[in-house]
Amino acid sequence: MTSLHRLNALQNELRSTLNLNDDYQLEVNGNDVRAKFIGLQLSSVFQPIIDLNKNEALGYEALLRAVDQKGNVIAPPAAFRQAEVAERLVKFDRVCRTLHTLNFLNMGKSSGLLFLNVHPELLVAVNSHGKVFEQVLHQHDVATNEVVIEIHESAVSAEKLLADAIVNYRERGYKIAIDDFGKEHSNLDRLWTLAPEFVKLDSEIIRRAEFNPRLQRILPKLVEIIIELDAEVVIEGIETQSQLDLARHAGIHFAQGFLLGRPAPASEWEEPLANCAAA
């Protein structure tokens, strides 16, 4: 467990790096680091992204869990809206990413890549993307190329600002993933322009493909196009063996979903995840 002295030092370090006020507090519960900010208690859970060829984790996506002062569970979108109303969205996003990183470190260096979501509003509202967070990573010996920034490109209409943000992240060494591709107004033209390392297909695609022969025929072609653009495909929402079989048949190498691992605190993933995907 982190000592009180180390916890206080870490809290002061992050308060200085992230330019936070006294409404920010770190605490440790067992091996899990938690934070208090804008009246919410924040914690991390992680879901594995599985390499279907090696049957082991490529890495883990960090997901936020939030509880208000009355003990009510607050969904992540609502938590970010609360931060936006309080005019603390930028700092809230940085606190969440830092919290996820601290917990990810408890899983050891063999845990692979850390996938982190960035709120769409920050992509068009902040300059020098990833600079402050890079300081946090370096303070804890995490290289930026071990971090994948997940971006909901369909939520950002400003083409140039989105492209500039991605260039900024990439210049600092971060990898880029386009998240929920195939949802709403996603388009292939943007993939060509943005050149992400990963494209995460929206979970609705595999759910529909399970019962739609036409989509089953289309899916391998979509995967082939994305791979031709030099991106790796990750399919989200794998919940059944038939969905996993469809993903394999479509030529998808990486998958995420309840069948392969439910979101859990870092302490439950301390042992490297292997041999978890059905053959």
Per the document, the length of the chain is 279
Query: Residue 247 to residues 52, 220, 222, 243, 257: CA-CA distances in angstroms?
Result: 9, 9, 12, 6, 12
Would 92 be classed as within a structural domain?
yes
User: What's the rounded Cα separation, in Å, for the pair 74 and 38?
Assistant: 13
- pLDDT above 50 (res 278): no
Is residue 78 a part of any domain in this protein?
Answer: no
Could you read off the pLDDT of 33-72 as tens digits, one per residue?
Answer: 899 899 999 999 999 999 999 999 999 999 999 999 999 9
Range of the domain at 199: 47-60+85-267
pLDDT surpassing 70 at residue 21 = no
pLDDT category, 155, cuts 50, 70, 90?
low
Tokens 């009510």, residue? Answer: 72
**pLDDT tens digits, one per residue of 167-181:** 888 888 999 999 988
- Mean local confidence (pLDDT), 247-253: 97
Structural domain contains residue 191: yes
Flag whether 143 is in a domain: yes
The answer to whether residue 164 sits within a structural domain is yes
Looking at residue 275, its pLDDT comes to 45
Q: What is the CATH number of the domain that holds 164?
A: 3.20.20.450
Our CA dihedral for 85, 76, 100, 144, rounded to 10 degrees, sits at -80
pLDDT at 184: 66
Residue 20, in any domain of the structure = no
Please give the tally of structural domains in the chain: 1
Examine residue 77 and state whether it is found in any structural domain, yes or no.
no
Q: Residue 263's pLDDT band (boundaries 50, 70, 90)?
A: very high
**C-alpha closest to that of 127 among 159, 167, 100:** 167
Q: Report the distance separating Cα 47 and Cα 260, nearest Å.
A: 9
In a domain, 256, yes or no: yes
